[in-house]
Amino acid sequence: MSTSADQKGEVIVETRNLTKTYKDFWGRSKVHALKALDLNVRRGEIFGLLGPNGSGKSTTIKLLLGLLFPTSGEALVFGKDAADVSKNERIGYLPEESYLYKFLNAEETLDFYGRLFNMSAARRKSRIRDLINLIDLDWAKRRQLKEYSKGMTRRIGLAQALINDPELIVLDEPTTGLDPIGTRDMKDLIVRLRDQGKTILMCSHLLADVQDVCDRIAILHQGELKELGAVDSLLSVQDITQIQAKNLTPDTEEAIRKLIADNQGELISMENPTTTLEDLFLSIVRDSESRPGFVSRKEGVEQQEETATTE
């Protein structure tokens, strides 16, 4: 888990009483998408917007990017109004879907977005080379995006968001459409970018992703801010102590149980931990990559398969 950002750092993103109400043609309110949101995102932190579908996460991001106009309140990025185009010089944005031009190839795509930042030809060239290496698409850089898989499109989408080496990176559901390896790579990259001093604002409904990378989170529900704070402090359970140990004998375990009971404590569980499916999957894939052709199956899995076949 990453360290918390400096709470006294420079405020990069700020919303003040930010409200968005969708109205019909006659001005009648249809949906209150966001209600009086007050947020600060500071330099160098990974800030997560969390919430179920329709909670206002994407609306908040669109308001900050100037894609929507607030009904009331203010959205400031680098101290500028969200409608000010010049703020975009310092922003990189990865939309929820990679909305890219399918008739361009990867190099043309990055070159096009580089030009939009008024980058010189030499700088574009070097940035494109670096980013294509970063997203590991060198082998497919001349293929039109319409031939790309969803994961590849997502990666090129990320590359376009980084073309200008932005200070603030806005990621809308960054792991959507990625396989577990891609998801892990994306999360590692997010952390790496933070370590390079970038500020990251991301929204996701995948709780594990947010938990893995975010320093601070805001939880939205029905357009309202329900919780805001550092992930560590929000998730820590103060009245439960967790001890993890290795190579304990049954006697030692029994002694620990007794010690807890003697001290009026309540033992909730004592068991062998399981790994996550993500970790298992990644270890199998990495093992397979290092030893092509080698089949390794766990005994329990084989037995279950045999039983199923006999039946």
SS3 at position 59? helix
Return d(Cα 86, Cα 118) in angstroms, integer. Answer: 12
Residue from 95, 174, 177, 223 that binds another protein (CB under 8 A)? 95
Sign of CA dihedral 179, 132, 210, 176: negative
Residue from 7, 17, 101, 286 that binds another protein (CB under 8 A)? 101
Does residue 97 bind another protein (CB under 8 A)? yes
Phi and psi at residue 82, to the nearest 5°: -60, -25
The distance of closest approach from Cβ of residue 156 to another protein in the complex, given in angstroms and rounded to an integer, is 11
| Encoded amino acid at 66, one letter | G
Q: Which residues contact 50 (CB under 8 A, 6 or more apart)?
A: 57, 203, 204, 205, 207, 210, 217, 218, 219, 220
Cross-sheet strand order for the sheet of 91-94: 91-94, 168-172, 199-204, 46-50, 216-221, 224-230
Residues 12 to 51 in contact with another protein, rule: CB under 8 A = 22-23, 26-27
The distance of closest approach from Cβ of residue 112 to another protein in the complex, given in angstroms and rounded to an integer, is 6
Six-digit token string for 304: 């279950």
Contact indicator for 92, 75 with CB cutoff of 8 Å: no
Residue from 54, 66, 151, 180 that binds another protein (CB under 8 A)? 66
Of 67 and 270, nearer to another protein (C-beta) is: 67
Contact indicator for 159, 135 with CB cutoff of 8 Å: yes
Cα 292 → chain centroid? 31
Contact indicator for 163, 89 with CB cutoff of 8 Å: no
Residue from 1, 83, 267, 284 that binds another protein (CB under 8 A)? 83
Residue from 1, 103, 227, 305 that binds another protein (CB under 8 A)? 103
Return d(Cα 65, Cα 108) in angstroms, integer. Answer: 24
Residue whose C-alpha is closest to residue 168's, from 189, 194, 203, 192: 194
The distance of closest approach from Cβ of residue 118 to another protein in the complex, given in angstroms and rounded to an integer, is 5
Of 102 and 291, nearer to another protein (C-beta) is: 102
- Please count the residues of this chain forming the interface with another protein, following the rule CB under 8 A: 37
Does residue 104 bind another protein (CB under 8 A)? yes
Contact indicator for 214, 47 with CB cutoff of 8 Å: yes
Site mask, another protein, residues 113-152, x = CB under 8 A? x-xxxx----------------------------------
Of 62 and 184, nearer to another protein (C-beta) is: 62
Stretch that binds another protein, among 35-43, 110-118, 190-198, 220-228 (CB under 8 A): 110-118
Residue from 15, 55, 160, 204 that binds another protein (CB under 8 A)? 160
Residue from 72, 275, 283, 303 that binds another protein (CB under 8 A)? 72
Of 107 and 215, nearer to another protein (C-beta) is: 107
Residue from 1, 38, 52, 69 that binds another protein (CB under 8 A)? 69
Residues that bind another protein in the complex, under the rule CB under 8 A: 22-23, 26-27, 62, 65-69, 71-72, 81, 83-86, 88-89, 91, 93, 95, 97, 99-101, 103-104, 108, 112-113, 115-118, 160, 164
